[in-house]
Structure 1
């Protein structure tokens, strides 16, 4: 439905970067750098009806990618198409196609609600239809019918005549969504739409947004730096770093099988144990570490003798006061050095040799610091990532 091919967007480097590059050039160390990559050769496809998330830290290029799709930024090169409509194309020697933002027909919800304070809820939602070209503008009856239908879906129908500024934060966010979808866009772009809300409201609207997206079947691109949001909402996630997509996949796949330490650290919490690949037995890899031997079931093909990192999620670590007597794989002995009650779970920090391993258990398990414990880690729940 949406196809992005080899998208590149650069910006003028700041004064400090240009000065450093110029100094390096004078010393014969490097050429002068006048531009920096915000988006560096990004490609992906989004299928009809998907909620596709661009996830990453600030400055990774996710918002620039979204703005390029919307037509608010002009890329240096690449291709953007929605269905059979090419919205941008440049960089292969042909003439550039750059469809204006107002002709792309895409819906967009910004981080700020950007609602019109002097208008009622009904007029805010109807405005995008009323300002269309005369040849494309629906009649008054159709506008009213579409606005009322969207307001009911958003559970704002009883507030149609209220001034937009007299709504709560959550209601204003739903109003911004209603205004974006009333035009029935082929693609909905969402730029961190829940970031201005408090934690509890953000969580409730997260599920509401997922319900609406599924019911309406709108293909959506969602930008966020919140890993929980991305995992809860997405059909697929593209994790971005320094302008590049470093991993793309379904939420569970990215969480359980990160391909790099960056992805494992950014999405959730992990224990990282450094080691060296000692052998292979089918898809099971043996890794020798200073704390002991680990068996990891992994599709990552690292040769024997190569350095590797075993990523262990805290919830994949089972903690017990009794050992198996060596019958269980990946069983380590350690001492609890810290614990924290988190409401729905208890975290234990266990010292094993020179390493500290974090375990996450249900709230009924709480072991005092200083206690000797046994840690067991299922090979199927561990991930092997190469050393960056």
Structure 2
């Protein structure tokens, strides 16, 4: 459905102090640095990363709100943008791309009713492609029914709740029946409880309607819940691209491991390898882990350990791999789990487990880490 190839977008940076007098051109800053990805039909693809990583610039380039320096953007085989390397430039205007977009601010027209907000994109189409009044009314009511807003069709848009306004913005984007839906952090203005419920509502709608979507967010939980696949971005580059479980369980670098969830990081050196079983020597002992990575013996690495992969016990388990002793520094009740922070030598390891298990700070404990749940991350 969507194919992005070698997309580059730069902006003017600040001039260096020394070069101002010479009238030198400002340095170029890469907002998007030669990225490529494909979004299959009916899937929800998420661009995930911190502020300034290039995710929104990428989305706006697809929408036609930013003009890339080079690369190609195709939707359903139709070229929306092509440029660079001396090739003939194609740049379809945003209003002619036929894509749906939901903004972070919703952009609801306050002087219109719910019905009129949704009908407006159809009413302003060119006469040749504009539906008749009857068809417009049918399409608007159909999408309002899907969004559970049909009973509010005559209400002023500003008298809706935050969640209802978010669904109204989504209805307005869907009524034109776009081949591709673009969503720029549409849930970020909502409170935590409403945001959580609408994640699942959005996921249900996307799958039931089969809408091909590109979703931008900095919220890693949101990305894991909603996505068919995720591209984790940093500094205009895609650091890792894959399915949510793959990225969470097998991050390819420390940045991805830190950004997707919470991890303990323990530096060490590969001491031995037998098939997929690695032995890593660290400052506080040896760790055994399973990894399909190909890393030579003697290489410096980082072992990433998710808190839920660490089991805390008051007694020694016996001859099991990766059992370390430590002392509980602090604990935190999270409702569905309890976090313990345990001092082991120079490291402070976070463990997350059953809320029924809560151990007093200062208690000597044993940590057990399943080799199959540890991840080997190359340094750098």
Q: TM-score, normalised by structure 2?
A: 0.98
Secondary structure (helix, strand or coil) at the match of 1:162 reads coil
CA distance in structure 2 between the partners assigned to 1:237 and 1:324 by the alignment? 38
Could you give the per-residue CA deviations for residues 344-367 of structure 1, whole angstroms, max 9, x where no partner exists? 111101111111111001110101
Residue equivalent to 1:47: 40
Q: Is residue 227 of structure 1 aligned with residue 220 of structure 2?
A: yes
Q: Is residue 384 of structure 1 aligned with residue 363 of structure 2?
A: no
How far the C-alpha of 1:222 sits from its partner, in A, is 0.3
Residue equivalent to 2:9: 9
Query: Which residues of 2 match residues 236-385 of structure 1 at below 5 A?
Result: 236-325=229-318, 327-385=319-377
CA distance in structure 2 between the partners assigned to 1:178 and 1:20 by the alignment? 50
CA distance in structure 1 between the partners assigned to 2:246 and 2:259 by the alignment? 14
Q: TM-score, normalised by structure 1?
A: 0.96
How far the C-alpha of 1:209 sits from its partner, in A, is 0.5
Residue equivalent to 1:28: none
- Shift >6 Å, 4+ stretches: none
CA distance in structure 2 between the partners assigned to 1:4 and 1:169 by the alignment? 33
Residue equivalent to 1:174: 167
Could you give the per-residue CA deviations for residues 200-231 of structure 1, whole angstroms, max 9, x where no partner exists? 11111111100110111000000000001000
Q: Is the CA contact 2:16–2:26 (under 8 Å) kept in the aligned structure 1?
A: no
Q: Is the CA contact 1:21–1:33 (under 8 Å) kept in the aligned structure 2?
A: no
Q: Is the CA contact 1:21–1:32 (under 8 Å) kept in the aligned structure 2?
A: no
CA distance in structure 2 between the partners assigned to 1:11 and 1:92 by the alignment? 18
How far the C-alpha of 1:276 sits from its partner, in A, is 0.1
CA distance in structure 2 between the partners assigned to 1:347 and 1:271 by the alignment? 13
Match of 2:143 among 143, 150, 156: 150
CA distance in structure 1 between the partners assigned to 2:64 and 2:292 by the alignment? 39
How far the C-alpha of 1:324 sits from its partner, in A, is 2.2
Secondary structure (helix, strand or coil) at the match of 2:136 reads helix
Secondary structure (helix, strand or coil) at the match of 1:38 reads strand
CA distance in structure 2 between the partners assigned to 1:20 and 1:243 by the alignment? 25
Q: 1:20 to 1:310 in 2, by over 3 A?
A: farther
Q: Is the CA contact 1:69–1:80 (under 8 Å) kept in the aligned structure 2?
A: yes
Query: Which residues of 2 match residues 32-181 of structure 1 at below 5 A?
Result: 34-181=27-174
| Structure 1, gaps ≥5 residues long | 26-30
Q: Is the CA contact 2:12–2:26 (under 8 Å) kept in the aligned structure 1?
A: no
How far the C-alpha of 1:78 sits from its partner, in A, is 0.3
